[in-house]
Structure 1
């Protein structure tokens, strides 16, 4: 039998057409699971509005990745030489072929004007390894805060036995744009104070953490629409350390404020930037509390809501009933309840577990049986539309209904680490039952003592999900036409290099029949390139390559023409008595994956442009057998 596919050919063709459209941008919303389709021009306009705010961002002339890599490499080497970090830590944090971050937005459809929530993807950036390392050093600190909430279950446990005096107020606060409003100095100061207080054995000192954190905060550069920017305030939402960094900053701020404030909450709990308070005070004192809190730090502001009857916090509706707090499920207006479709290409046990996991969640949140029943019936209606079998839904609800809610919100015992080896596979409906195959043939492994020690039990199978519609249609890059392949001017007024730069999409040899198309959108700011110099008088040519920004390489050549007369280009200019400004330059290609690849390409083009026998180059480059290369 042929391979099964849960999309028809026409559906796949439509998907490809949709993913290639440049006039629209598809994004998940900020909250609720909905999908938004908006015009690319509108998306760019909103991004430009945010990126033009000098309080948070500054534009850059070019990609600073190479320069920032040099900074990080130097700092890490100093820390290693001083004995502040180990060789393994140095290796872990050293950047390898980094790239700039990517700016994208998630539309906030629950707010007027639908602004975008700015996120910067830190994957592959210069500071990604450092951010992950710092996060590993500080992730235990937020758990020590009195206000700390791990999740909904933890919150339910914290409020379950509260006695609420009459006339009390339920209050929720939201920190406005917390991540981007933490000043670097204040954030690092709070981080180090808390790090030293809760320092674990065999970890680096506070100086190391402060140094590394500052690199993450200050080298947070990114690209959007072929332009480069740096975030100058706060931390980017997208770097790994951000949640714990923000959590620690707020923990230090709130502890000092609550200690000094005369209005004391009955309870104060926080989930990163969402705060829940019960105040047994007058409304006037509540307002005074908020005024004081908004004045506690010059860049931190709060929005708040309050009620003497009920309020929503996270995914919970909290009510005051007979001196206790009753809870039920709360769904934000943007919640689309986008559960996995039953016909989607996922393992059956994953799909079959969804009705029970949701009913289990409802049972945990709802303190009254009637609220559980109401939420469960809504769940059944939604899942039936997603083609879930009614029998599976009913069994899940019945099973959850029989659970003891007190057990569900109690702390669960920590699971012991298992030594089982897992086989990781990307799931496909076309795969055989690999679990059965492993169980059936495990006895073969048991016949070898060495393999039996390596696999003391039957290996488990863990499935990664396969590529889905979101992977195909949603991208952190804007959905616009790529820039043309050409060598062009950088457009910066007064750029002396561009006076000698060719604006062209092709390049030709003056001493062979070879010509080529330019590969990449290249300017004097481009790095990781192969380039061509040509004397406009005698038509002699020279091929070179550079890892750094070309403008640096150009200026080096210009300096060498005077100070290093034995170099090939310098020698030719001296012999011909032609000045350096008689040279034109064309950038030929960029985007190489390694230094070796770039050097090999240089050798190939030296041969094709014939710049050794009848040009300026004196060496064929790194490839000894260059003449054996065939045309591309």
Structure 2
């Protein structure tokens, strides 16, 4: 047990209790509020507010009790110096930690753990990045120039009052991290040489908060699309209300690598279509949203193996608004290819779409 980390967690828990007691309610995510002629989110910088006067005697007693238990555990560990695993397991873990020739990743599906040789992992990563229609190698770090583009965009939103002061401060990432590329091995397809599902970890990147902002605005559009299904239980409940007939056929289909194949112009066209169809967004805000999506898509850069790359098509798996964006793209395709202009669409008893 790490005593210091346990103490920090205890203090965070106390603050959380005090805040809940102070506000007497929990925040609701993805609330869209009306302010003037534009729609806004509740996004804002994380508050450091701590209503210490809400600390009760019960909280203080709980705090003292936990601290006492922490000290007891520290004394036990010093006296016993015992581990909860065997010596052999300890040696194995230490050996794995020191082994720089192995890569350990979660499997793409099934929740398993995959251990690959470094050479094999890097070969697949370079194969993925070698697709010049999807990725472009960059000569240097583009962080500074891309940060400038985002700053200009956010300044514009603030000047037009499309962004509130809270939204502006939240979206402006002062010290952005460089996104990192990795992939998840698809061992369900090939156990010996598993292909990879590319992921870009963009937590703390220049586009991370803007992506979250766009997701808040796009989620209500996704839910309103004709084929939307929330989860497994939703489709089970829907099927329960259908009387099966001998002439019916059950069909499933899958889109291969959807996130990385959506052309930017078609994806933006789809989002623009549904924003206008909903009829609740001002044209100026629609333009601002589309500009933000283009900004993320066209500046989706990342680092891998001492080099920088730019994704040329599609959106990265890992960015917050990607599922909403992909859902709306598919809904737009369905609008053109399923619901209108095709007589076979009239023969559908039920049609639903789910994006994991």
Give the TM-score normalised by the residue count of structure 1.
0.41
1:193 positional shift: 1.6
User: Counterpart in 2 of 1:31?
Assistant: 109
User: Counterpart in 1 of 2:214?
Assistant: 134
User: Counterpart in 1 of 2:235?
Assistant: 155
Please give the alpha-carbon distance, in whole angstroms, between the structure 1 residues aligned to 2:201 and 2:255. 22
SS in 1 for 2:251: strand
1:190 positional shift: 0.8
User: Counterpart in 2 of 1:247?
Assistant: 327
**Structure 1 residues 238 and 204, CA, compared in 2 at 3 Å: closer, same or farther?**
farther
**Structure 1 residues 88 and 203, CA, compared in 2 at 3 Å: closer, same or farther?**
farther
User: Counterpart in 2 of 1:272?
Assistant: 355
User: Counterpart in 2 of 1:75?
Assistant: 153
Aligned 8 A contact 1:63 1:100 in 2: no
User: Counterpart in 2 of 1:372?
Assistant: none
Please give the alpha-carbon distance, in whole angstroms, between the structure 1 residues aligned to 2:334 and 2:293. 22
Q: Deviations over 1:574-617 (max 9, x none)?
A: xxxxxxxxxxxxxxxxxxxxxxxxxxxxxxxxxxxxxxxxxxxx
1:33 positional shift: 1.2
Matched, 1:262 2:340: no
Cα RMSD after superposing both structures: 2.1
Which of 192, 195, 217 is the matching residue for 1:115? 195
Aligned 8 A contact 1:85 1:204 in 2: no
SS in 2 for 1:269: coil
1:149 positional shift: 0.9
Which of 93, 97, 104 is the matching residue for 1:19? 97
Please give the alpha-carbon distance, in whole angstroms, between the structure 1 residues aligned to 2:301 and 2:133. 15
Aligned 8 A contact 1:137 1:203 in 2: no
1:168 positional shift: 2.5
1:19 positional shift: 2.2
Aligned 8 A contact 2:189 2:195 in 1: yes
Instruction: Map 1:577-588 onto structure 2 (within 5 A).
Output: none
Q: Can you give the 5+ residue segments of structure 1 that lack an aligned partner in the other structure? A: 274-632
Aligned residues: 273
User: Counterpart in 2 of 1:191?
Assistant: 271
Instruction: Map 1:338-357 onto structure 2 (within 5 A).
Output: none
Greater radius of gyration (CA): 1
SS in 2 for 1:167: coil
Structure (1/2) with the larger strand percentage: 1
Instruction: Map 1:305-320 onto structure 2 (within 5 A).
Output: none
Q: Deviations over 1:408-428 (max 9, x none)?
A: xxxxxxxxxxxxxxxxxxxxx
**Structure 1 residues 104 and 90, CA, compared in 2 at 3 Å: closer, same or farther?**
same
**Structure 1 residues 233 and 6, CA, compared in 2 at 3 Å: closer, same or farther?**
same
User: Counterpart in 1 of 2:6?
Assistant: none
User: Counterpart in 1 of 2:32?
Assistant: none
Structure (1/2) with the larger helix percentage: 2
Please give the alpha-carbon distance, in whole angstroms, between the structure 2 residues aligned to 1:237 and 1:250. 16
Instruction: Map 1:91-110 onto structure 2 (within 5 A).
Output: 91-110=169-188
Please give the alpha-carbon distance, in whole angstroms, between the structure 2 residues aligned to 1:5 and 1:214. 52
User: Counterpart in 2 of 1:298?
Assistant: none
Give the TM-score normalised by the residue count of structure 2.
0.72
Please give the alpha-carbon distance, in whole angstroms, between the structure 2 residues aligned to 1:38 and 1:66. 35
Matched, 1:40 2:118: yes
Matched, 1:175 2:255: yes
Aligned 8 A contact 2:275 2:281 in 1: no
